[in-house]
Amino acid sequence: CMGPLNSPFARFGVQITDSPYAVVHSYIMTRIGQKVLNAIGKRQDFLPCIHSVGYPLENGRPDVPWPCNPDNKYICHFPEDPSVLSYGSGYGGNALLGKKCFALRIASYMGRQEGWLAEHCLLIGCKSPSGVKKYFAAAFPSACGKTNLAMLRPSLPGWEVTCVGDDIAWLRVGPDGRMYGVNPEAGFFGVAPGTSMTTNYSAMQAISRDTIFTNVALTTEGDVWWEGMTNERPEELIDWRGEKWNPQCDTPAAHPNSRYTCPAQNCPIIDEDWEAPDGVPISGILFGGRRKTVIPLVQEARSWKQGVFMGSCCASERTAAAEGKVGELRVDPFAMIPFCGYNMADYFSHWLEMGHRMGPHAPKIFFVNWFRKGSNNQFLWPGFSENIRVLKWIMARTEEAVAVEDSAYGYLPNPTDIDMDGLDLDQDTVGTLLSVDADGLESDLEQFGAFYKRLGDRLPKALMEEMSLTKQRLSNYV
């Protein structure tokens, strides 16, 4: 079962697999067992999923530690059926079919048919010292700080952030016209390298028990280790390939995409309503990307329509976690390019329609960028726990408690409205952080326009209108 078992959000699937890896991970990442079978009963609307590693043990063929068939690999989705067939891979989302295959690719198609959204989003609660609590969804491409935001430990006294989900959100319009979100998963499947007590304390606490580690290194004491986990590297390890490793080796000890899998309930900041049947009310949606220039620390969309335009223009500089040349700009609308189960132009239309349905109750949309750099190529913003300062401003904007400044793109904060107390940031740095690079935006729009052309006549006219309006505003700044 994806989603709380007693929830109207809940959707069911049945996976047949020859992989023990898939079975034990599904026990953590989904709801399984007799209660789910009872809930399915005689209903026919479950998703049938078939998975095989593609390595049959026949004719005396020896078993191997990681069975797969890389030369004959197929991960196939059939939204109209719906069904999923995965062959030849034993890893991650290719084997745990309830995750990306069901909860995003198939579910996004289901959502369009039924009037809801399946998104590559985290869900968090944010509570102010005065006790005001609001929930936010946030969609970022790979390697853009998504997990760290989902498990944020605020640096500002009295502020609290709780985690509803770290990866996928199903979003619906409730009876009151507001948007509600639920985390369809029951666990966290996170990238291990770079995770430490400094970068993500809550994740480290969550994986201290009941956790499966995949393709990490082993210490001589039998514990796990990966790059970035500690300041100093151990003198001796067994690497992810089972070979002896020391700091003089040229290869990483843990695979760059090594993973941890743990129950969500292990998280010390898991939200009290993370399994609420009706979900949590969404006050704001954040998009983001990894941009050294052009995009400010935070900006607010002028309207739902412009917010959808911003989401459709999500772009991030490529990293080792994404295919392509490192540093090259990759357009990834809503962080959904790898996960949308139907035509992207129709997907944009569906987002616009969701806004029409909610009308004045629609959550505000924001765009954030933690990765702006200065002329010395150093990050301008400290990030991590300090991101609460941006959330504090966003919280204020959901109540129209502070004013905004205009720009060539969205609405920007007044520099005095972002809490900078205790940060060693001079006025010029803050000015750069809270500015839109007009020349760079002009170049970006050309690339976004080229992407739009690929979508043809199905692209919503509303987005081309927003493109024209942005160019008009930009002419006043270039």
Using only C-alpha atoms, the chain has a radius of gyration, in whole angstroms, of 23
* Euclidean distance between CA atoms 286 and 116, whole angstroms: 18
Contact 143, 90 (CB under 8 A): no
* Euclidean distance between CA atoms 60 and 62, whole angstroms: 6
**Three-state secondary structure of the chain:** CECCCCCCCCECEEEEECCHHHHHHHHHHCCCCHHHHHHHCCCCCCEEEEEECCCCCCCCCCCCCCCCCCCCCEEEEECCCCEEEEECCCCHHHHCCHHHHHHHHHHHHHHHHHCCEEECCEEEEEECCCCCEEEEEEECCCCCCHHHHHCCCCCCCCCEEEEEECCCEEEEECCCCCEEEECCCCEEEEECCCCCCCCCHHHHHHCCCCCEEECCEEECCCCEECCCCCCCCCCCEECCCCCEECCCCCCCCCCCCCEEEEEHHHCCCECCCCCCCCCEEEEEEEEECCCCCCCCCEEECCCHHHHHHHHHCCEEECCCCCCCCCCCEEECHHHCCCCCCCCHHHHHHHHHHHHHHHHHHCCEEEEECCCCECCCCCECCCCHHHHHHHHHHHHHHHCCCCCEECCCCCEEECHHHCCCCCCCCCHHHHHHHCCCCHHHHHHHHHHHHHHHHHHHHHCCHHHHHHHHHHHHHHCCCC
Please indicate whether residue 49 is annotated as part of the active site. no
Q: Which of 1, 49, 121, 144 is catalytic?
A: 144
Contact 243, 65 (CB under 8 A): no
Closest of 340, 388, 357, 362 to residue 285, by C-alpha: 362
Q: Which residues are catalytic?
A: 144
